[in-house]
Structure 1
């Protein structure tokens, strides 16, 4: 039996149907990723499952005593409270039972035997049973254990924490409850790469069923065992992760297109028949006319796929061949070094991603490259004819009181894109803003809509350098994919800060990564390439460290010893055996991965056994790591043998 079921749910916002006779169920142990357009109603569905809102119509079924915890996008905290007290507030109901138990126990001690005494004793027994079931006696230990698991200091003040750490507090407050169902709305917001990886591992390991909203495709691939798409009021279920959803969705849309074409062709034929006039009246069938009326109604009721954002960037004149040249640049704030002795050359057409933990200094490095900040040490040479368009993650460039039209084209009804004039209403329509909203103030827009408006404003300005600071926040997946295509085809230079791993992989040609203490290093390729290269470099450095330390500790005292130290080290018997076995080990791992990959691609395993599907997904990723270690070891042993 499902933990939670919605049947025939209806929910409307104004004249827009968010849920249109929609069905949904959640099984024990499932991790369901909920996706859909901005404004489709995903957050509304989450609040319905959390029992914080009701559908306009439909049947909701919940298992008895079902425990559900909802973590919104922006959790509300008392800034002056400690982390311990904030996380413990998740157990408010449990602590209230304990307080009542203590009060009843004290009152019972002072009450003589009789009817009141018996009533108090009965209530005390009921409370004890509830407290035992909820494991309430050890609530302090539960809070402390959860804090340790999530890496939080209980005595810290919540208001002093970063956005990423506050996100961890919100998750800790939810997990300490040990809910049957955990509901998360954009859980990766404010988290850096390390935080996102930590969250992935945490969610894959925990027991609760999970329903979460995210636009992070890599996160969906890693965590989800099923994808549910909210599309035109219907909830469509796809077993497996996001990659498998994409394949099935493409097939479904093609079938839908063919069926619609057949329907429209038949409707057109019937319309021709009904208009033939007097000579056809004798052959008219009452039933056929009724069917035509029904077909017209079905065509009107059809909810077509919402149009895609039409992205086009106003290209400026070409910049100089060199956009920026940094030589031995150092920048400090107080006693902290943000950039330490960094050199790089940014060429016209480069698409560079900047990655690192929150607070590492990505924005500072960007400003140094653009010449907006002067270095403390070193030189920055900025290229010629730069036309920079800047996308600010804080959306500070938007005036909340201005209308959408004035934001795009102040004082004019026209914008010019690559030499062609376009009416501002039509241009806003390209970004999915209806004409009636053009005069609405910016403050009436959702987070995703404000990001879309900022992109519209950005792309209306002629530019040859695009600086994008977290442009993917709150954007739905179709818009993300179109933005990727635009940036890939863009002739100018792109400087991109993002925590969206798939977006970085699909757009950038190199990555400048923070390596701690102000050190930055450039890697060729996207996010995955950076991870692979940096991991290998770290493993090689760790492998070399003991070998380099050993000769230094036992330095030769004479020339003969010095000559002996230069000789190639031969393999030991154990290492020789290991080298002989490694090719078989590598082949076995590759075969296992190929077999698992076929099962995952088929997708049937997720419908048959979701937990086994999740285990296979984790094993597939683990084999990548094992193969890398095995190959590195094989190379190391081979080099010793030569």
Structure 2
């Protein structure tokens, strides 16, 4: 089958900051290993190193077997069709044959000459020889499983019109049906509805492939992992069991590190006390000067050879979402419908309520929240917001071209905050080290935290949250839960996070 081995792997960001160093782990044949760590620690970067899309500062990665990989973010390229999306998961030889076939078809359509017809015939022959027709059979199976529609029906549909969950399901269908021996899955459960998450768990558990995956879904981690690799404190360590026992093991490990650091400090203090005494006595006895020099060298060797492991820095994220008093009814719908998605919705949402919106991918949940947030969405029936309701929308996709190319601190200051208050807000969300970085350079989880901070600063009196925990690490998700518990106002959340609900 396949395996992954990382040896002394290190990576530094542009500017020199080391993201991680001396990372060592192995994913054995047929193992399903979870890669966990806080937002921005370098999980997606490590995946790109394994996939060969980036080069490490030092060390090396070895992958035995055919590799298939899925990235974290949904595709929002308006030119990307379902067919091209599926093609992007095919071997390069098929992608090249497809490009030649498309070029030859265009040439024939433009002018049917003996030369263009011959080129087209040769392209069709090559398409069959490299397995193109077999690939189309596979794609047909994928679209049927994901949407219940044939490739012919949906092949030319823009991928950007699919929900995030539909895109994820399509990518997972093609990967699990492929001939890949090793799968890299970067947050494969993001955007999936609850049946989709259960389907993914079943697929993973039934698979004989070697799988390394990133997820923040605690239920999925516990149900699918055979061991856990953790990126933290600039390095990595391996828990040899499933995530079900991970938290207990991590607490015990942190306790051991604290004890190591305590013993190290105690011994270093003892040696320094002796050194000070030698230096004091050397003022009137030269032999103590020699002893002092020897002790200084001994301390240097001790610090070099006995330095304790670094303890992971705790995140102290505090979300102060605020809110405000509104009328009793904050949202009312009467026979409301979004054509093809939602039919006959009649309901009321009251001040202070926490409403969870669930349903299958593509059912219109995000459309509903976007409409309530002020976006123009075609609909019928009646709906209205109540008195003093000012909605704040958090989007599931992190698709914020309006925030690109601007340092985070400047985005915050554009909301009317001075530098001190802007930095204070970033610090509460553990984003202050990224203050001069741009939104697009952040990890998915950091982008989500920053958008929550922006929502907080605008003081909405009703929160509209579209999959808010999908990219958040566990510390951030728990901070959001605490923030929502204290929020003064109604919350309408689309979520498939079983713990969050």
> Structure 1-normalised TM-score?
0.60
Aligned equivalent of 2:348, options 332, 344, 348: 344
CA distance in 1, matches of 2:465, 2:96: 48
CA distance in 2, matches of 1:370, 1:12: 40
Alignment correspondent of 2:9 = 9
Aligned equivalent of 2:500, options 503, 509, 518: 503
Assess if the C-alpha contact under 8 Å between 1:84 and 1:143 holds in 2. no
1:214-225 alignment, distance < 5 Å: 214-225=215-226
CA deviation after TM superposition for structure 1 residue 210, in Å: 0.9
Q: 1:452 to 1:292 in 2, by over 3 A?
A: same
Corresponding residue SS for 2:468: coil
1:164-203 alignment, distance < 5 Å: 164-203=165-204
Query: Does residue 1:467 correspond to 2:464, yes or no?
Result: yes
CA RMSD of aligned residues (A): 4.1
Corresponding residue SS for 1:262: helix
Aligned equivalent of 1:324, options 321, 330, 337: 330
Corresponding residue SS for 1:344: strand
Q: 1:342 to 1:368 in 2, by over 3 A?
A: farther
Assess if the C-alpha contact under 8 Å between 2:321 and 2:483 holds in 1. no
Assess if the C-alpha contact under 8 Å between 1:34 and 1:230 holds in 2. yes
Corresponding residue SS for 2:263: helix
Corresponding residue SS for 2:500: helix
Q: 1:394 to 1:209 in 2, by over 3 A?
A: closer
Alignment correspondent of 1:493 = 490
Cα deviations by residue, 1:474-498 (Å, 9 ceiling, x for unpaired): 2223222222233234454332222
CA deviation after TM superposition for structure 1 residue 89, in Å: 6.6
CA distance in 2, matches of 1:381, 1:78: 32
Q: 1:490 to 1:243 in 2, by over 3 A?
A: farther
Structure of greater Rg? 1
Query: Greater helix percent: which structure?
Result: 1
Unaligned runs of at least 5 residues, structure 2: 98-128, 283-287
Cα deviations by residue, 1:58-116 (Å, 9 ceiling, x for unpaired): 354554xx22222223477995766499459725548999xxxxxxxxxxxxxxxxxxx
Assess if the C-alpha contact under 8 Å between 2:227 and 2:239 holds in 1. yes
1:520-539 alignment, distance < 5 Å: none
CA distance in 1, matches of 2:59, 2:365: 49
CA deviation after TM superposition for structure 1 residue 27, in Å: 1.6
Assess if the C-alpha contact under 8 Å between 2:322 and 2:486 holds in 1. no
CA deviation after TM superposition for structure 1 residue 251, in Å: 1.7
CA distance in 1, matches of 2:172, 2:498: 22
> Structure 2-normalised TM-score?
0.75
CA distance in 2, matches of 1:6, 1:202: 26
CA distance in 2, matches of 1:85, 1:367: 26
Query: Does residue 1:28 correspond to 2:29, yes or no?
Result: yes
Assess if the C-alpha contact under 8 Å between 2:191 and 2:496 holds in 1. no
Q: 1:208 to 1:158 in 2, by over 3 A?
A: farther
Alignment correspondent of 2:67 = 68
Count of residue pairs the alignment pairs up: 455
CA distance in 2, matches of 1:486, 1:82: 39
Q: 1:88 to 1:152 in 2, by over 3 A?
A: farther
Looking at both structures, which has the greater relative contact order when contacts are Cα pairs under 8 Å and sequence separation is at least 6? 2
